[in-house]
Structure formats: structure tokens, C-alpha cells
Amino acid sequence: MEKTNARRGDTITFVKKYAMIIVLILVVIFFTTMTQGSILAPMNISSLISQNAYVFVLATGMLLCILTGGNIDLSVGSVVCFVGAVGAVLMMNHHWNMYAAIAVMFAIGIAIGAFQAFWIAYVRIPPFITTLAGMLAFRGLSNVVLDGLTVSIKEQETFVKLFGGGANCYVPAIFYVGGANGLCLLVTLVAAALFLFSQIRQRLIRSSKGYETEKPIAFWFKSLAITAVLTAFGVALSFHKGIPTVLIWVVAVVLVYHYITSNTTIGRAFYAVGGNEKATKLSGINTNKVYFLAYTNMGFLAALAGMITIARLTSAQPTYGQNYEMDAIGSCFIGGASAYGGIGTVPGIIIGAVLMGVINLGMSLMGVDQNMQKVVKGGVLLAAVIFDVVSKRGGKLLAKD
């Protein structure tokens, strides 16, 4: 009895762990067929990155909030807009130095984050309400700052190149290898080799200390598959202008936050609070501080996303950033973050974001109506969360009365 239960549990964990990857593969195959392979064209892969860069950044911040107990931040879209608006106005209307403007934008993002975080963490105002208020207030303030107008930042070429994607915002090639961007190829190969090397090294350390390791087949399949995807991705980019500059920011955010969440004591605290706040408190962890960090950090990453947004669109407008919070939240839940907190990983939510991005891109290429795209995205989100809740209940669809 106990054994079959355990095996059933293992199956559920396995399905839960890899389900979104399987779904992603199926979705890619589906759109490849439907678009006669054009979704895999280097240009489309490159624009998948540029178009969704803000989602990757925001979803990473949102993950920390969701980890603390399924709490979300509704204000990020408005904060993205507000930070971008302030930056654009400073650089264009007040002719500020670009780096000073960047510093101010980060400072504003962190300050807004800390302001909301204070109410959430120390006064215990529900995050939904606090950030709903922020969503309204900063949308309004964006309008005030911009005076309801569009501020173009086309002339700020360095800024646009630094944070942008698409158009001509790429890392210079330096050299070419048979028509492909040489630098991009080189970076790809180095990254793939480093990844594979670190995986093998970790495994060797573990087995030399006599700890349990994955089965060889599983290990090699997983490592080689990821290496192959990484390489294919980089090679594709090298045939279309190379590395979008925004990708550097995205990779940096993903790597840093993946490291924090999986390897540091602070990262552990986010999971612990979401898993069982009382137990965490009694284990000597300052749970208020954990909430404070999550929402302050969200403000910081919203500022970065704000810069990415105005750089890509080469302007600031009062309507920018609308529904960005929903993209971020959706990516997290689709990527396996639990709606109750305590569960979710950075790689997971990146897969969630990519899945959403692929669905968007694929439907656009197929010429699906914008409105129907929203319907499909809504369906995917609901299905993902149903899947999460039901699998946590051990596969039973209906809750006990």
C-alpha cells in the first residue's frame, strides 16, 4: 500500500516537474507545422527574446513574491510605465546625463518597491490591495509626468542600444564565420561548454562524496538535451544579427536570481515562508523581512523592465506597461509556481514565459485575431493552475466537501 502510494507520488512529481517542458515541445512542434517552420527562423527566435525580455525580468521578480505565499504584485505594469516616463523626461526634456538618469530610475523603482513592501511586510496590508493601489496611483502619475504625451527617446542612441532589442540593438559581431556572427557563435559554444562542464563536475563531486546521484541515462539525457537546445538557440541568433543587447540583461537577471533562490540562505527563506510561515518564524527567520525583500526587489526589477520597455519602443507613453503584471503572473503560474507559495523555480518560470511567448508569436505568425489570442492565453493559464492544484491533491479533480 505504502509502496504503491510512493510510486504514485513519484509519478506525480515527475509529471509535475517536466510537464511544462513537454507541453512547450508539443506547442513548438504544433506551430512549426502550422507556420511551415517559420517560427524557428532565426529572425523569429531573435524577436521572441526582444519582445518578451520584460516578461522574463518581471516574472523573475514576481516569482519571489509568489513564493512567499501566492502573493502577487499588481503594480508592476504601472511602475514600469512610471519609471520609463521619469527616465525619458529626465533625459529628453531636462537633458540629463544618461547614467544619472539610469541611477535615478533604479532608485525610484527601489523606493516604490520599498514603500509598498513596508505596508505589506510590517503593517500586513494584503499585497493584493497595496499593489492595486500602486497600480492605480503610478498609472496616474505616469500620465502626470508625461503630461499625457509621448516622449520620444530616439536620440538617446546609447541608452536604446544598451537596453534595447530588435532594430539595431545587437552586440557588435567583431568577426564572422561563413556569414554567421562569430562573437555570438563563440559565446554560445563557451556557454554550452561551461554548462556541460559544471554539470559533470557537480556530479563527480557528489558521487565522490558518496551522495546519491541521478541515474546516468537521466543525467546525460538531460544535460546533453539542454546543451543542444542552448547551442541551437545561439547558432540561430548568430544567423540573425547576433546577440540582442537586452538578452545580456535577461541572462544576468536569470542567472543571478536562479543562484539566489537555489543556493543562498536568503533564497531558502522565500520558500520556507511560503511553505509554512509559522514554522519559519519559529526557526529563527525574520519573516517580515522576507516579505519586505520580495516586494522591494520587485520594484527594482520593474525599474529594469521599464528601461527595457522604453528602449525597445524608443519612447515613453502613458499607456506602456499595461497588463505587464498579468504576463509576469501568468508566466509564474504556467511555469509551475504554486498559487499557495513555497514552490517554483527561476528556470521553471522562464519556461512558462517562453511558452507564453511562443504561443503569442505562433498565433501572430498564423494570423490569429488578437482577441482570440487573449482567449487562448487565458485558457492556458487556467489549465496550468488547475494542473498545479489537482496534482498537489494527489490527482483528485474535485476538492473534498
Partner 1 sequence: MANVLLEMKNITKTFPGVKALDNVNFQVEEGEIHALVGENGAGKSTLMNVLSGIYPFGTYEGDIVYNGEVCHFNVIKDSESKGIVIIHQELALIPYMSIAENMFLGNERGSKYKIDWNETNELAAKYLKMVGLKENPQTLIKDIGVGKQQLVEIAKALAKNAKLLILDEPTASLNEEDTKALLDLLLKFKSEGMTSILISHKLNEVSYVADKVTVLRDGSTIETLDKNKDDLSENRIIKGMVGREIEDRFPKRESNIGDIKMEVKNWTVYHPLYTEKKVVDDVSINVRKGEIVGISGLMGAGRTELAMSLFGKSYGTNISGELILDGKPVHLHNAQQAIKHKLAYVTEDRKGNGLILSNPIKINTTIANLEGVSNRGVIDKDREYGVAVEYKEKLNTKCPTVEQNVGNLSGGNQQKVLLAKWMFADPDVLILDEPTRGIDVGAKYEIYCIMNQLVAEGKSVIMISSEMPEILGMCDRIYVMNEGKIVAELDGKDATQEKIMSHIVRTA
Kindly list the residues in this chain that would bind partner 1 in the complex (CB under 8 A): 6, 9, 205-206, 209, 211-212, 263-266, 268, 271-272, 275-276, 278-286, 338, 342-343
Give the H or E element holding residue 162.
helix 157-163
State which residue, 197 or 259, has the beta carbon closest to partner 1: 259
Q: Least separation, in Å, of the C-beta of 303 and partner 1?
A: 24
Sort 313 into a burial class: Cβ within 10 Å, 0-12 / 13-18 / 19+.
middle
What distance lies between CA 214 and its chain's CA centroid? 28
Query: Is residue 286 classed as helix, strand or coil in its secondary structure?
Result: coil
Rounded Cα gap, residues 71 and 308, in angstroms: 25
Q: CB-wise, 13 or 168, nearer to partner 1? A: 13
Nearest approach in angstroms of CB 89 to partner 1 is 38
State the minimum distance, in angstroms, from the CB of residue 321 to partner 1: 33
How far is 106 from 297, CA to CA, in rounded Å?
A: 11
Q: Is 283 helix (H, G, I), strand (E, B) or coil?
A: coil
Q: Residue 305 is inside which H or E element, if any?
A: helix 287-313
- Minimum CB separation of residue 331 from partner 1 in Å reads 21
CB 271, min distance to partner 1, A: 7
Give residues with Cβ within 8 angstroms of 298, minimum separation 6: 61, 62, 64, 65, 73, 76, 113, 117
Q: What cell numbers appear for 328 in the block?
A: 509576469
**Inter-residue contact 68 to 270 (CB < 8 Å):** yes
CA distance 286 to 219: 37
Using alpha carbons only, give the angle 242, 243, 247 rounded to the nearest 5 degrees: 160
Question: Which cell goes with 300?
Answer: 527594482
C-alpha cell at 107: 532608485
Other beta carbons less than 10 A from residue 112's beta carbon: 27
Judged by beta carbon, residue 82 or residue 387, the one nearer partner 1 is: 387
Shortest separation between residue 265's beta carbon and partner 1, angstroms: 4
Cell of 372: 482570440
Minimum distance of partner 1 from residue 391's CB (angstroms) = 12
Measured over the CA atoms of residue 32, residue 229, residue 353 and residue 378, the dihedral's sign is positive
Closer Cβ to partner 1, 13 or 150, answer by number: 13
**Nearest CB to partner 1, comparing residues 150 and 283:** 283
Which CB atom, from 369 or from 401, has the smaller least distance to partner 1? 401
Nearer to partner 1, 95 or 278 (CB): 278
Measured from the CB atom, is 284 or 367 closer to partner 1?
Answer: 284
Q: Which residues pair with 176 in a beta bridge?
A: 181
Q: Minimum distance between the CB of residue 291 and partner 1, rounded to whole angstroms? A: 16
Q: 315-316 and 151-152 as β-strands: parallel, antiparallel, unpaired? A: antiparallel
State in angstroms the smallest separation of the CB of 337 from partner 1. 12
* Closer CB to partner 1, 222 or 374, in the complex: 222
